[in-house]
Amino acid sequence: MFRHRRHSEVPSLNTSSTADISFMLLIFFLITSSMDSGKGLKRQLPPPPQDQEQVADIRQEDIITVKLDAAGRLTLNGDAVTLEQLQQEVRQFAAVNPRHRVVAIKTDPKARYEAYFQLQNAIVAAYRPLKCPPRVSDVVEEEGGRP
């Protein structure tokens, strides 16, 4: 009277194309998504020296010298300064004639990159209100003390 029902098996799912579909979805999302790319630093370094380079006449009073030593200390024309003081001094210096003023940067080869970039950012921030890019001369100081 009681019939024994045969337990039917659950049909198996065909997953042979799952890897293909996953790969296609991955490619689709990689192509359609936007990736933030690094913008880098917007700095223009001086060109390499040429054999027949003409030296520009720059008056000594149009040059301000900033030194960064290995310990990260800043000096402006021989006087110790902070980044904020440097920014104010460079702004006052460049306000007179920003296109003919030169900021010479002398760095110790053992100085940290972070300190150097903070120095550059302070100089650029000082020139920002003047609407004129700074003329920067990068000089790496040798261990003997000569540029």
What DSSP designation does 144 have? Answer: T
Write down the H helix ranges in the chain: 18-32, 83-95, 113-127
Residue count (the chain): 147
pLDDT in tens, 58-94: 777 778 888 999 888 898 888 889 888 888 888 888 8
pLDDT in tens, 9-59: 777 777 778 888 999 999 999 888 877 776 666 666 666 767 766 666 677
Helices 83-95, 113-127: axis angle to 10 degrees equals 40
* Burial zone of 44 (CB within 10 Å; 0-12 exposed, 13-18 middle, 19+ buried): exposed
> pTM score > 0.75 for this model?
no
The domain locations on the chain are 61-140
Instruction: List phi, psi (to 5°) of 80.
Output: -70, 135
* Burial zone of 125 (CB within 10 Å; 0-12 exposed, 13-18 middle, 19+ buried): middle
CATH 3.30.420.270, applies to 61-140: yes
What is the C-alpha separation between 139 and 147, in angstroms, rounded? 6
Paired tokens of 113: 């990159």
What is the C-alpha separation between 138 and 89, in angstroms, rounded? 19
What is the C-alpha separation between 59 and 9, in angstroms, rounded? 95
